[in-house]
Amino acid sequence: MTKKINIFSNLKSDFASGLVVFLVALPLCLGIAMASGAPLFSGIISGVIGGIVVGYLSQSQLSVSGPAAGLTAIVLTAITDFGAFNIFLTAVFFAGIIQLLLGLIKAGSISNYFPTNVIEGMLAGIGIIIILKQLPHAFGYDSDFEGDESFMQEDGSNTFSALAALLDHVQLGSILITAISLIILIAWDKIPALKKLKVVPGALVAVILGVILNEIFIATGSIFEIQKQHLVALPVPTSVEEFKAILVFPDFTAITNPKVWVTALTIAIVASIETLLCIEAADRMDAMKRYTDTNVELRAQGIGNMVSSLLGGLPMTSVVVRTSANNNAGAKSKMSTIIHGFLLLLSVILIPTILNKIPLATLAAVLLMVGYKLAKPATFKHFWEKGKYQFVPFIATLVGVVFTDLLKGVALGIVISIIFVLKGNLKRAYSFRKEAYADGDIIHIDLAQEVSFLNKAAIKSTLKAIPENSKVIINAQDTVYIAHDILDLIREFKTTRAIDENIKVKLKGFKKAYQLQNTDESLNKVTIEHVYDVAKRKMVTKEIFPDEISNPSQNKN
């Protein structure tokens, strides 16, 4: 159950963290809108609605919603196919309705089946993506849009080739401002006196100093001057009419277009899965260990997407990058998310010109710190020490997220986790013991609580390997379920092969429902004398057939 918290009780820390998230979200909203082939303000609208509407309706205390990089390909393709942004908005509206329905039928519970190592692998993978993608911005090479998470680019290049190319596009002012910003951010985390200044986040100080330094460079004609193309680029309406023109509304006459419904379903499914993954990650980050009702979250996202589409905004999800920045900045409640939404709204109306003076290098420094905290070495060490069954899915998810995308990477990690679970279940379905015996082997097969059809091959192989003239005890005392396939195997083994090869089979603990009769203890008298003689020679103990050797003198005749 989610712990209740007064969202106004931590207003100081939440305002500071909301300010940091606002600074991070602003260029991401613009960059994702640009990459999606949508109007730039559609990204801002989505960020505002994600902050205010979804932030208010959601039960997550840390999650931040807005336009997501994972939807850019879907959005770009849809807008191109429709040929009109307002028809695309209709698809977003219906995607919101589908998400709302998913929440009502409690589809959010699927998130309970995401393994922890996969979630942590996803977070570490996103951390590495952030670092790789922000390094060029830190050096003044802004070839990719802010918020890009794709390894492969449309022009055939990739993340690594962009890193190699940045050496030919170094901008001294960007490097200087990145370095100064990183020093400020690290100092704010490490120096006790500065850590106490929670109301003034280090990211804000870095941004303000970055703006002041660059204005000085411009005024003095310094070689460190950062050009306009390396600054935040927010559209600036010059009149009320221009501002009104920003708002685009859905064209509901396109409701009969099948492509609208296909796009809506695609957006709803992808956005819902990404949201559920991010919510699981947010709950993992939460120092107070509060848990989010994922069904409520799906309903909140659905309403958010409906409202966003009605105002001309992009579809949204809960976003890991912004959520991580929110957590790192010290957010205590969802008030931080709501504040970030209001700041986005007010800033684009009141101070767009000032915002356009922010160097992307400063924001790159903020995101580099976020990336490091997501992919810090301690996380790798933690899962390495847990063994291969935890480490392999973790590292596979990480690699998949970095080199493909979030959903494919997580799917890879889950598949590997399932394979490991099945492998573990195959081993744990029964225990197999051999004990030295004077006239062959006494073989103990102790079945586990659940033995499914997946264990058929292993048990079949074990029964096949039992030698002639052996004695076998198959113990089902602890089982609550045995698949029919397994029962048939045991029945066939006892009634056919065991008779042909003189294998004495003892069944113990089989329930009536299994339709396998347990061995009558009186049928074991044939071996009493032999077991008694062996016991006298101290070659076996009373643990072997104790019921049969408890009083051997009574059975001599």
Say how far apart CA 534 and CA 528 lie, in whole Å. Answer: 10
Decide if 1 is inside a domain: no
Q: In this structure, are 410 and 436 located in the same domain? A: no
Q: What is the DSSP letter of 225?
A: P
d(CA 34, CA 540): 79
Q: Are residues 439 and 376 in the same domain?
A: no
Would you state the pLDDT for residue 536? 43
Q: pTM score, two decimals? A: 0.78
- Rounded Cα distance between 151 and 1, Å, is 38
One domain for residues 123 and 205: yes
CA distance 116 to 111: 11
* pLDDT at 547 (0 to 100): 46
The reply to whether 96 and 241 lie within a common domain is: yes
**pLDDT for res 164:** 81
CB–CB of 48/65 below 8 Å? no
* Domain-terminating residue out of 386, 414, 442: 414
Query: Which residues neighbour 455 within 8 Å (Cβ) at sequence distance 6 or greater?
Result: 425, 426, 429, 430, 483, 486
Shared domain for 484 and 335, answered yes or no, is: no
Residue 313 DSSP SS3: coil
DSSP secondary structure code for residue 18 in this structure: H
* Residue 247, number of CB atoms within 10 A of its CB: 14
Beta-carbon count within 10 A of 522 CB:
7
* Shared-domain flag, residues 315 and 459: no
- For the chain, the domain total comes to 2
Backbone angles phi, psi at 545, to 5 degrees: 45, 55
Amino acid at the residue 396: A
Q: Distance (Å, rounded) from C-alpha 332 to C-alpha 339?
A: 12
Which residue carries 């056919």 as its tokens? 496
> With contact defined as beta carbons under 8 Å apart, do 506 and 524 qualify?
yes
Tokens in use for 435? 């004990």
Burial letters for 439-469: b for 16+ Cβ neighbours within 10 Å, e otherwise? Answer: eebbbbbbbbeebbeebbebbeebbeebeee
DSSP string for residues in 508-524: ES--GGGT-PPPPGGGG
User: Look-up: residue for tokens 């204005």?
Assistant: 215
Only one residue has tokens 């401002």, namely 177
Q: Which CATH number goes with the domain that contains 466?
A: 3.30.750.24
Is the same domain home to 194 and 102? yes
Whether residue 201 is contained in a domain is answered as yes
Question: How large is the C-alpha radius of gyration of the chain?
Answer: 32
Exposed/middle/buried for residue 500 (C-beta within 10 Å: 0-12, 13-18, 19+): exposed
Count CB neighbours of 529 within 10 A. Answer: 12
In a domain, 332, yes or no: yes
CB atoms within 10 A of CB 363: 26
Instruction: Tell whether 305 and 434 lie within a shared domain.
Output: no
**Residue at 306: amino acid letter:** M
515 in a structural domain: yes
Tokens of 389: 């069954």
Inter-residue contact 333 to 41 (CB < 8 Å): no
How far apart are alpha carbons 126 and 410 in whole angstroms? 11
Q: In the prediction, which pLDDT does 541 show? A: 37
Task: Specify if 4 maps to a domain.
Answer: no
Does 122 share its domain with 204?
Answer: yes
DSSP for 417-470, please give it: HHHHHHHHHHHHTEEEEEEEETTEEEEEEEE-SEE-GGGHHHHHHHHHTPPTT-
Q: Is residue 505 within 8 Å of 498, Cβ to Cβ? A: yes
Residue 537 counted as domain residue: no
Q: 174 with 237, same domain?
A: yes
What pLDDT is stored for residue 553 in this prediction?
A: 42
Of the residues 366, 388, 414, which one is the last residue of a structural domain? 414
Range of the domain at 445: 429-519
> Is 528 inside a domain boundary?
no
- Give the whole-angstrom CA distance, residue 330 versus residue 201: 9
Residues 253 and 390 in one domain: yes
Q: Is residue 545 part of a domain?
A: no
Q: Could you tell me if 403 and 470 lie in one domain?
A: no
Determine phi and psi for 41, rounding to 5 degrees.
Answer: -70, -15
Q: Pick from 414, 448, 476: which residue ends a domain?
A: 414
**Confidence at residue 430, expressed as pLDDT on a 0 to 100 scale:** 59
Mean pLDDT by 10 residues, the chain (557 residues): 60 91 94 92 96 96 94 93 95 98 94 89 95 92 80 76 81 95 91 72 93 96 93 83 81 94 96 95 89 94 98 96 93 95 92 93 94 94 89 95 92 91 65 51 80 79 84 87 85 89 89 81 42 41 42 42
pLDDT of residue 79: 95
Task: Determine how many CB atoms are found less than 10 A away from the CB of residue 245.
Answer: 12
Q: How far apart are CA 395 and CA 34, in angstroms?
A: 32
